[in-house]
Amino acid sequence: MSIDPGAAASSAWLSSAGTTFLLIALAEFGDKSQLVCMTLAARHRGLPVALGAITAFAILNLLATLFGAAVAAWLPDWVVTAAVGLLFAVFGINALRYSEDEDDEAIEEKPGHGIFATTFLLIFLAEFGDKTQIAVAGMGSTAAATAVWSGATLALATTSLLGIYAGRRLLNRLPLLWIHRISGSFFLLLAAVAGYRLMSG
């Protein structure tokens, strides 16, 4: 009994995509990118946060599957780390500067494109050359690039959406002041981690 080559190829594609999805989803669950989505979604609308995160992951995974681990070598590690640390520090300080005395007009949500750009930049810089991108690059060298890209992007979109849901449903129950305090402290913690990595070489 002969095996249909098309069916075998489809089966291999689905297997590679499924394996990539499972591995990346498990690796990213509770990771900093998911927490970034959670804290941003607690303060802003969920849709621009989701679109910004998914777009960033789609581009990062495309770079990883096309160029492999060499993508991370385009820029020195210290440049990426310094940019990440500075960005997190700025957002952390801005969040901590919020006070209850601010009127309603001062805390209106930013336009969707501003939240999209903010999320995109945070996720892109934080995940550039991260373990997940390197893992995607490695899998892309041993399996169909489209399968790896699809599985990885779907996995990261799923973890991001879970983080956004948690941010909207759980953190939104807290007073706005506490949301800003928590998110500000979280961003400053990430900035400190980036600073430590930078100093330790």
User: Residue 115 contacts by C-beta under 8 Å, 6 or more apart in sequence?
Assistant: 40, 44, 45, 48, 49, 52, 109
| pLDDT value at residue 107 | 36
User: Residue 62 contacts by C-beta under 8 Å, 6 or more apart in sequence?
Assistant: 149
DSSP state for residue 130 in the 8-state scheme: -
| pLDDT value at residue 33 | 81
| pLDDT value at residue 194 | 76
- Express each pLDDT in 164-198 by its tens digit: 888 878 766 666 667 667 767 877 887 888 788 77
| pLDDT value at residue 92 | 75
* Residue with the two structure tokens 């995974």: 61
| pLDDT value at residue 5 | 63
Q: Which residues of 118-140 are buried (b: 16+ CB within 10 A; e: fewer)?
A: bbbebbbbbbbbbebbebbbebb
Q: What is the pTM of this model?
A: 0.66
Listed as ranges, residues in the chain with pLDDT below 70 are 1-8, 30, 67-75, 77, 80, 84, 87, 91, 95, 98-113, 141-142, 171-177, 179-180, 183, 201
